[in-house]
Amino acid sequence: MLIYLFIYLFQDSHLRHILVQPIIHELRDDGAKTIPIWPWFVFLAGGMGCLASSTLSHLLACHSKPFNLFFWRLDYAGISLMIVCSFYAPIYYVFYCNPYIRTFYLTSISVLGVLAIITLLAPSLSSRHLRPYRASLFLCMGFSGVIPAVHTLATHYDHPHVVVALGYELLMAILYTTGAVFYVTRIPERWKPGAFDIAGHSHQIFHVFVVLGALAHTLATLLVMEFRQGSPTCNTQHCQ
């Protein structure tokens, strides 16, 4: 249903032509060089990994107590994986001509992501007294996106594709935050316990917002790819 909503919302927009462009070819039909596409596949793999681990978790968590604890940890680790993989494509394409900055940002988020996933999966690190450590780890992951976003705005403010992409990234942040608010506040089941055990539970709403956030990020990434595809070599007006 979400996919149909997505198609309906954007079928007549300026984004439509981006979705049908042959962005996955290394060479165009005329033999000219185009951009590498592996960062786009990193994002797709992260998104699919997230949805696969959520599906497995919700399907199998009822098996037994030990499996229950493992699969709920896997559920959140999958979302962390998608967040980390989401960073790759925009940072790679925006800082395409600045390999040192690009490597620094991608290495930083990768290290943070590996730490976050190990923390979420390790039973010894899931105790209550380490909760501030886990919370600060996620805050670092989230806020580490603000630094490259401000950097991008400062260096690419005159490129409309990039500015609109940043708008979609802001929408993604709002959607993720809204999902987290439902998750933390336990709305709506806190108002009527038991009434939302089958449908409408805060955890379900939380997952819907994660998917919507991923769709907003998909649009942002396609816009940045469109921007960079206009200049697959450095030393041009797109090169900062």
Site residues, Zn ion (CB under 5 A): 75
Contact 86, 214 (CB under 8 A): yes
Q: Closer CB to Zn ion, residue 50 or residue 106?
A: 50
Tell me the closest approach of the beta carbon of residue 177 to Zn ion, in angstroms. 17
Q: Closer CB to Zn ion, residue 75 or residue 226?
A: 75
Q: Closer CB to Zn ion, residue 23 or residue 60?
A: 60
- Token readout for 79 is 């979302």
- Token readout for 100 is 């040192």
Which of 102, 104, 110 shows the shortest CA–CA distance to 86? 110
Q: How far is CA 168 from CA 3, 18, 23, in A?
A: 17, 15, 20
Cross-strand partners of 27: 33
Tell me the closest approach of the beta carbon of residue 139 to Zn ion, in angstroms. 21
Q: Closer CB to Zn ion, residue 75 or residue 169?
A: 75
Which of 43, 34, 33 shows the shortest CA–CA distance to 106? 43
Q: Closer CB to Zn ion, residue 53 or residue 221?
A: 53
Residue nearest to Zn ion (CB): 75
Q: Closer CB to Zn ion, residue 15 or residue 187?
A: 187
Tell me the closest approach of the beta carbon of residue 52 to Zn ion, in angstroms. 12
d(CA 112, CA 107): 9
Tell me the closest approach of the beta carbon of residue 58 to Zn ion, in angstroms. 6
Q: Closer CB to Zn ion, residue 73 or residue 238?
A: 73
Contact 17, 221 (CB under 8 A): no
Tell me the closest approach of the beta carbon of residue 207 to Zn ion, in angstroms. 5
Which of 139, 123, 37 shows the shortest CA–CA distance to 80? 139
Tell me the closest approach of the beta carbon of residue 20 to Zn ion, in angstroms. 33
Which of 199, 220, 227, 190 shows the shortest CA–CA distance to 96? 227
Contact 176, 209 (CB under 8 A): yes
Helices assigned H by DSSP within 95-159: 99-121, 131-143, 146-156
Match 């049908």 to its residue by tokens: 20
Tell me the closest approach of the beta carbon of residue 51 to Zn ion, in angstroms. 10
